[in-house]
Amino acid sequence: MSDIDLEPGADPERAERARKLFSGPIAFLKSAPALEHLPPPSMPEIAFAGRSNVGKSSLLNALTNRNGLARTSVTPGRTQELNYFDVGEPLVFRLVDMPGYGFAKAPKDVVKKWRYLINDYLRGRAVLKRTLVLIDSRHGLKDVDREFLEMLDTAAVSYRIVLTKADKIKASELAAVHAATEAEARKHAAAHPEVIVTSSEKGLGIAELRTAVLEAVEV
Ligand SMILES: Nc1nc2c(ncn2[C@@H]2O[C@H](COP(=O)(O)OP(=O)(O)OP(=O)(O)O)[C@@H](O)[C@H]2O)c(=O)[nH]1
Ligand SMILES: [Mg+2]
């Protein structure tokens, strides 16, 4: 996909700033296994959330055009801590790669630990500008996702749904899932009404998502 796949109404100057920022200096900052390890809340943060294996770390790599910046895996449960990445030099904002939720096969105490970490972070982080909630295009929203969205609504955490792995389904099915997901997003108080369709594999929707991230940072 080209860098000109702008959303209708998107600001072309912001799109250009986003393109430059995401192709400039980006560095891993730290892994936070618990809230006391978070960096000082001095910069805007954008978090990646979603079920295990939905493609959070892959999308972060696609956005930053750096393979291997965030660790990915075919096995769910790869990301176990809040991983921080600094974008821009001087620093403009931070990306936060989170552990997945809804991973039934993980030991119960591990699932609990991740859930507390994710929920406490999302509810208590004043510098969190937006959470990207990733949903696998093949599956659409599941009950575990809806519970997560409701938690964000209650905590008044602004979020945007992003469909992932769009390369894995037919265009007609993708259009139907996209429409159904947007219809559902409109019912949620803290959700952005527009859903972005992406494929980290094919680069689909990546430029659009970069602009959306910067928009969330700047407003
Ligand atoms: N075909 C395709 N595969 C993808 C895409 N994005 C991710 N994957 C694959 O999906 C698997 C999981 O990707 P990750 O990025 O590790 O997923 P995650 O959400 O970070 O997973 P956890 O850290 O375990 O929660 C890997 O095998 C990726 O290669 C995509 O856009 N298309
Ligand atoms: Mg991951």
Say how many Å lie between the CA of residue 33 and the centre of ligand 1: 21
Which tokens sit at 98? Answer: 């989170």
- Once rounded to an integer, what is the mean pLDDT over residues 75-103? 92
Closest residue to atom 13 of ligand 1, CA basis: 55
For residue range 114-167, list pLDDT tens digits in order: 888 999 999 989 999 999 999 999 999 999 999 999 999 999 999 999 999 999
pLDDT at 1 over 80: no
Q: Are 130 and 160 in contact (CB under 8 A)?
A: yes
Q: Does 40 sit behind a cis peptide bond, omega within 30 degrees of 0 on the bond before it? A: no
pLDDT of residue 219: 86
pLDDT band at 2 (very low <50, low <70, confident <90, very high): very low
ipTM: 0.99
pLDDT of residue 113: 85
Q: Are 49 and 199 in contact (CB under 8 A)?
A: no
What are φ and ψ of residue 33, in 5° steps?
Answer: -80, -15
The protein residues having their C-beta less than 5 angstroms from ligand 2 (an ion) are 56-57, 78-79
- Most informative mutation of 31, 61, 73, 135 for ligand 1 (most atoms within 8 A of CB): 73
Closest residue to atom 8 of ligand 1, CA basis: 55
Dist. CA 167–CA 62, nearest whole Å: 14
Pairing of strands 128-136, 45-50: parallel
Say how many Å lie between the CA of residue 73 and the centre of ligand 1: 7
Domains of the chain and any CATH numbers: 12-218 (3.40.50.300)
Tell me the average pLDDT of the chain: 93
Estimate to the nearest angstrom the gap between the alpha carbon of 77 and the chain centroid: 16
Question: Going by C-beta distance under 8 Å and a sequence separation of 6 or more, which residues neighbour residue 83?
Answer: 28, 30, 31, 32, 70, 96, 97, 98
pTM of the entire structure?
Answer: 0.94
- For the chain, the straight-line distance linking the first and the last C-alpha, in angstroms and rounded, comes to 26
